Amino acid sequence: MRKVYMDNASATATDPRVAKEMKPYLEKYYGNPASLHSWGEQAKNEIEKARQQVAALIGATPEEIIFTSSGSESNNLAIKGISAAGAKHGKHIVISAVEHFSVLQAAKRLASGGWEITEVGVDKNSMVSAKEVLAAVRDDTVLVSVMHANGEVGTIQPIAEIAAGLKDKKIAFHTDAVATAGTIPVDVKELGVDALSLASNQFYCPKGVAALYLRKGTRITPLIDGGIQEGGRRAGTENILGIVGMGAAAELAAAEMEERNKKIVPLRDRLIKGLLDTIDHAELNGHPKLRLPGNVHIRIEYIEGESMLIMLDMEGVAAASGSACTSRALKASHVLAAMGVPHEKIHGSLLFSLGKENNEKDVDHVIKVLGPIVTRLRSMSPLAQ
Amino acid sequence: MRKVYMDNASATATDPRVAKEMKPYLEKYYGNPASLHSWGEQAKNEIEKARQQVAALIGATPEEIIFTSSGSESNNLAIKGISAAGAKHGKHIVISAVEHFSVLQAAKRLASGGWEITEVGVDKNSMVSAKEVLAAVRDDTVLVSVMHANGEVGTIQPIAEIAAGLKDKKIAFHTDAVATAGTIPVDVKELGVDALSLASNQFYCPKGVAALYLRKGTRITPLIDGGIQEGGRRAGTENILGIVGMGAAAELAAAEMEERNKKIVPLRDRLIKGLLDTIDHAELNGHPKLRLPGNVHIRIEYIEGESMLIMLDMEGVAAASGSACTSRALKASHVLAAMGVPHEKIHGSLLFSLGKENNEKDVDHVIKVLGPIVTRLRSMSPLAQ
């Protein structure tokens, strides 16, 4: 059976060139970068090399990169750490309603500690209005956090426009760029942000390593206190194996991004057209144009997304219904709810996220198998009666 | 030149059998365990297998294991998370003066948020008195944290005795077992603890993965909020590569611990005797008997530890002066200070931590090269004049 992996928003296959760079750190080197001997020195040098590679991907300087263990950790460090460091100026933050769970829940945690959170809504395409974000800012606002793109519906937000509006204010601006960094051009100076989260499992590196960009001069309170690793901003012995991989993957992403997207965007558009042409009562979620290169998120009425996923898997196809972090929770998507999608239509959404390994045959296979799955499920579903 | 690695307290070489188990997760598998398809299912199963392996190493049940990214994260999660969850009962915690920096600094962070911290001292062997710990407990005490063994001076603490005294009180008891789990027998029921930190880079697995044991029923507030990974206690896509390694390394450690220590303990004693016999004005730090199998921590008067480390490195020997997490900070050891070692003697300490790959020739090489290094440094040192 043909195997088609179209869940690159959840995890990407490790590029063999990245694996090759990591292998010596699995099989040969093991020094602790904090140690004062040549084994340690070697590890320290490798981490600093990776820090440069990651910094170069987003137009930052190496000292502005803090390695973490996941995009969720980066988001928590940004939201909780910047807020804690700025608490004496006020206790208010602004976020969007379509943020990743790690931003939403971190904000909720702050709220339980007496902070006020303003959640700015989105339009039917999941687009945030820069004007509304700026209007939500108050004198006691310490932090604004709006994601660069939503990995679920693919909409790319007006980050630079928000940053421009915040420019003369003493408010830190964070963006969750997990879905964009390594996928589309991301430059921290062009975006104008003070903090930016990225994760390497989004660009062909294994899971377990990520980073937070923190603009020089931006104050932060660590989540993990202890040793002096990462400039005292994140204690703990470094995941060298993962960090070496992230560096290598960042360098490849910077070099090949344009070429990758030249291939992926037409595949995305072919899949969108194919699915909308063959399936009744189906609609594209998210912005029609300002969307991630590999994102195909469609809403199929009268069916449960989970049933489609299981049947797609039986046909060799890996897809998702929304964010990987919430898929096993089987909750209705807060992103679709914020877009105003009626509750009864939320559950039938499917996310196909294409990557650099996909091709036209993959796309045509998905188009071919999904139609009959939908027909079959609708014939059995009480929702369709 | 002979290369002798005796810095196993900072990092251990990855066991080739562990690397072999991890390799497919570098080169072949890449599913996100949260995904609802066979790629994800496979990853999820592997994590649950590793969870069982780690649980078995310490006599826990799999649901009691939370995977983290480092021993420091596990300690921060325990100290901050258990405190936050218990804040309504009081705002006091008890720790020992010789804890790892990640416990000390986490406690300091709580102190800046209005918590009271009682730091219990140690005797000249770095031993904590269970009686003193129990005497420090108050009606508003929420957490007691005393490390199982200090990785720097090697002393093993009376954890079970402290646990017995806390038994009928509603106080959580955490132990940092990073230096012991996988090295000597650790059983959470015999120790009687509610939470226990362990890190796999201490038992022949790459860095970047660790765990916190949390006894069923023990309440904790996450450090990283977001998705439902790790039972909602630690959000973020899992480091599957590392977790698979930790599982394999835990299984090997459980099976081979006795055999490893049968080899390591005589090497340790040979090194201690050899160094004390050949170097004047040298003393063993830590408890003479209740110490880690591979720990040789000696105090050499009239010299700087860092100079010795650099010259040892030139002779092919990797050692440490104290905790890896603080070595680059070049600060005097808080552990030795707590033991009452005079300030002028603290700086000349050396830590040789032996591992399963060391042999008699390694030990004899270190004994042979250290004497001349000490003689040479003393002839140049103003401290010796």
| Minimum-distance CB partner of A206 among B25, B36, B70 | B25
Task: Judge contact between A307 and A83, C-beta under 8 A.
Answer: no
**What is the secondary structure of B281-305 as a DSSP string?**
TEEE-S-SSSB-TTEEEEEETTS-H
More confident residue, B349 or B197: B197
| Chain A hits for B333, Cβ within 8 Å | none
Closest B-chain CA to A21: B26
Entry field: residues in chain A: 385
CA atoms within 13 A on the CB side of B199: 26
Residue located via tokens 């646990």:
B163
pLDDT tens digits for range B68-98: 999 999 999 999 999 999 999 999 999 999 9
| Minimum-distance CB partner of B325 among A38, A102, A226 | A226
| Minimum-distance CB partner of A208 among B16, B242, B328 | B242
Report residue A231 as tokens. Answer: 């400039």
**pLDDT value at position A249?**
98
User: What domains sit in chain B, N to C, each tagged with a CATH number?
Assistant: 4-12+257-379 (3.90.1150.10), 16-252 (3.40.640.10)
Report residue A27 as tokens. Answer: 């099989």
pLDDT of residue B108 exceeding 60, the answer is: yes
**pLDDT value at position A342?**
83
Q: Which of B353, B335, B343 is nearest to B99 (CA)?
A: B335
Q: Count the neighbouring beta carbons within 10 Å of the beta carbon of residue A161.
A: 15
Report the alpha-carbon distance of residue B173 to residue A217 in Å, rounded: 39
**pLDDT value at position A247?**
98
pLDDT of residue A140 exceeding 60, the answer is: yes
Report the alpha-carbon distance of residue A292 to residue A284 in Å, rounded: 13
**pLDDT value at position B384?**
57
| Beta bridge pairs of residue B213 | B65, B196
Parallel/antiparallel/unpaired status of strands B4-5 and B92-96: unpaired
Per-residue confidence at A345, pLDDT binned at 50, 70, 90? confident
Report the alpha-carbon distance of residue A294 to residue B294 in Å, rounded: 52
pLDDT tens digits for range A220-275: 999 999 999 999 999 999 999 999 999 999 999 999 999 999 999 999 999 999 99
**pLDDT value at position A382?**
67
pLDDT of residue A303 exceeding 90, the answer is: no
Q: How far A168 CA lies from chain B's nearest CA (Å)?
A: 31
Report the alpha-carbon distance of residue B312 to residue A286 in Å, rounded: 61
Q: Do A32 and B324 touch (CB under 8 A)?
A: yes
**pLDDT value at position A380?**
85
Least confident of A185-199, B136-150, B220-234, B300-314: B300-314
Residue located via tokens 């000249």:
B124
Of the residues B325, B337, B367, B383, only one is catalytic, namely: B325
**pLDDT value at position A333?**
85
pLDDT of residue B328 exceeding 60, the answer is: no
Q: How far A265 CA lies from chain B's nearest CA (Å)?
A: 23
Per-residue confidence at B333, pLDDT binned at 50, 70, 90? confident
More confident residue, A385 or A306: A306
Mean pLDDT of B227-232: 93
Q: How far B353 CA lies from chain A's nearest CA (Å)?
A: 13
Q: Do B320 and A100 touch (CB under 8 A)?
A: no
| Chain B hits for A333, Cβ within 8 Å | none
Q: Which of A152, A360, A358, A363 is nearest to A278 (CA)?
A: A363
Please name the residues in contact with B368: beta carbons below 8 A apart, sequence gap of 6 or more.
none
Residue located via tokens 């962070």:
B109
pLDDT of residue B4 exceeding 70, the answer is: yes
Q: Count the neighbouring beta carbons within 10 Å of the beta carbon of residue B328.
A: 16
Mean pLDDT of B335-339: 91
Closest A-chain CA to B40: A318
DSSP-derived letter for residue B168 is T
Mean pLDDT of B212-227: 97
**pLDDT value at position A384?**
57
Q: Do B14 and A27 touch (CB under 8 A)?
A: yes
| Chain A hits for B35, Cβ within 8 Å | 7, 10-11, 318, 320, 324, 327
| Minimum-distance CB partner of A324 among B32, B201, B208 | B32
How many Cβ pairs within 8 Å bridge chains A and B? 302
Report the alpha-carbon distance of residue B181 to residue B58 in Å, rounded: 7
What residue type is assigned to position A228 of the chain? I
**Alpha helix ranges (H) inside B77-142:** 82-86, 101-112, 130-136
Q: How far B199 CA lies from chain A's nearest CA (Å)?
A: 10
Q: Do B326 and A16 touch (CB under 8 A)?
A: no
| Chain B hits for A22, Cβ within 8 Å | 26
**pLDDT value at position A305?**
85
Per-residue confidence at A331, pLDDT binned at 50, 70, 90? low
Q: Mean pLDDT over all residues of chain A?
A: 94
Q: Do B318 and A105 touch (CB under 8 A)?
A: no
pLDDT of residue A327 exceeding 70, the answer is: no
Per-residue confidence at B341, pLDDT binned at 50, 70, 90? confident
Q: How far A46 CA lies from chain B's nearest CA (Å)?
A: 14
Per-residue confidence at B326, pLDDT binned at 50, 70, 90? low
Of the residues A324, A325, A337, A383, only one is catalytic, namely: A325
* Per-residue exposure over B154-163, b if at least 16 CB sit within 10 Å of its own CB, e if not: bbbbbbebbb
pLDDT tens digits for range B285-317: 999 999 999 999 999 988 888 889 999 999 999
Please name the residues in contact with B171: beta carbons below 8 A apart, sequence gap of 6 or more.
B137, B141, B142, B143, B144
Q: Which of A314, A160, A224, A25 is nearest to B76 (CA)?
A: A224
Report residue B48 as tokens. Answer: 């649950």
| Minimum-distance CB partner of A235 among B7, B102, B313 | B102
Q: Which of A8, A22, A30 to mutate to test the interface with B (most CBs of B within 10 A)?
A: A30
Q: Which of B319, B305, B271 is nearest to B374 (CA)?
A: B305
| Minimum-distance CB partner of A106 among B5, B225, B320 | B225
**pLDDT value at position B58?**
98
pLDDT of residue A385 exceeding 80, the answer is: no
**DSSP E strand stretches across chain B:** 4-5, 65-68, 92-96, 116-120, 141-145, 172-176, 195-199, 210-214, 282-284, 295-300, 317-318, 349-353
Q: Do A35 and B76 touch (CB under 8 A)?
A: no
**pLDDT value at position B327?**
58
Give yes or no: B205 in active site.
no
pLDDT of residue B329 exceeding 80, the answer is: no
Report the alpha-carbon distance of residue B127 to residue B125 in Å, rounded: 5
Task: Identify the helix (H) or strand (E) that includes residue B383.
Answer: none
3-state SS, chain A, equals CCCEECECCCCCCCCHHHHHHHHHHHHCCCCCCCCCCHHHHHHHHHHHHHHHHHHHHHCCCHHHEEEECCHHHHHHHHHHHHHHHHHHHCCEEEEECCCCHHHHHHHHHHHHCCCEEEEECCCCCCCCCHHHHHHHCCCCEEEEECCCECCCCCEECCHHHHHHHHCCCCCEEEEECCCCECCECCCHHHHCCCEEEEEHHHCCCCCCCEEEEECCCCCCCCCCCCCCHHHHCCCCCCCHHHHHHHHHHHHHHHHHHHHHHHHHHHHHHHHHHHHHHHCCCEEECCCCCCECCCEEEEEECCCCHHHHHHHHHHCCEECECCCHHHHCCCCCCHHHHHCCCCHHHHCCEEEEECCCCCCHHHHHHHHHHHHHHHHHHHHHCHHHC
